[in-house]
Structure 1
Amino acid sequence: MAYFFIALMLALTCYGQLVLKWRVNLAGSLPSDLNGQLHYIFSLLSSPWVISGLASAFLASICWMLALTKLDLSRAYPFTALSFILILISSAFFFGDTLSLGKMIGTALIIGGVCVIAFVT
């Protein structure tokens, strides 16, 4: 069950990051004046999508706490690195971010590290 909560935490984290990026992209650039910046932030914070993204972070935290009831922190924490992989792939798919060779090598190293910590030790 702990790994289910970790998977759910990862999914919620990824969802939240993607939604926030999507809405920030739609909102455009941050204005230079303080009044414009406050309006910009309030506009984002009043968006149901942004609220859902922030709520997903809260729910991800709850899932994380539930996972930690069953796993040592040193065993569970490396799985959080999988969020880098999920975001890398998702941001390329949804936002057209580039997948460079360096990013792919880094991703392979992350996967290898998580496998070693989770399954070998």
Structure 2
Amino acid sequence: MARSILPEGATILIKAITMLTSPWVLAGLSCYSVGMVLWLFALRHVDLSLAYPFVAMSFVVVTIMAVVFLGETLAPARIAGLSMIVLGLSVMALWG
């Protein structure tokens, strides 16, 4: 096996740089940044006690994406739980 001229730690650094410059990682960081800006914008206009429960919508969105893109199936208990999240958030939005 041929020895590399790079120091042993350099290969880890090269792997880290390669991962961080991956288009998927950059797209993920961009989405996270946009989400953070939108969250801060929302907090300027809505009380935290009303806005924060809407973070639970991520459970609903992720489940829908998993069904659509990954072909996952939904058990009746999961559908009931997601329905309760949506119902609770609707009540908060209308009368909160």
Match of 1:69 in 2: 44
Q: In the aligned structure 2, how far is the partner of 1:46 from the partner of 1:99?
A: 35
Match of 1:48 in 2: 23
The size of the alignment, in residue pairs, is 84
Structure 2's unaligned 5+ residue stretches are 1-11
Structure 1's unaligned 5+ residue stretches are 1-37
Q: Does 1:87 align with 2:62?
A: yes
Q: In the aligned structure 1, how far is the partner of 2:87 from the partner of 2:32?
A: 26
RMSD across aligned C-alpha pairs, in angstroms? Answer: 2.1
Q: Is the contact between residue 78 and residue 118 of structure 1 (CA under 8 Å) also seen in structure 2?
A: no
Rg larger for: 2
Q: TM-score scaled to structure 2, two decimals? A: 0.75
Large movers: runs of 4+ above 2 Å: 41-46
Q: In the aligned structure 2, how far is the partner of 1:97 from the partner of 1:61?
A: 28
Percent pairwise identity = 36
Relative contact order higher in (CA < 8 Å, ≥ 6 apart): 1
Shift of the 100–45 alpha-carbon distance from structure 1 to 2, 3 Å rule, reads: farther
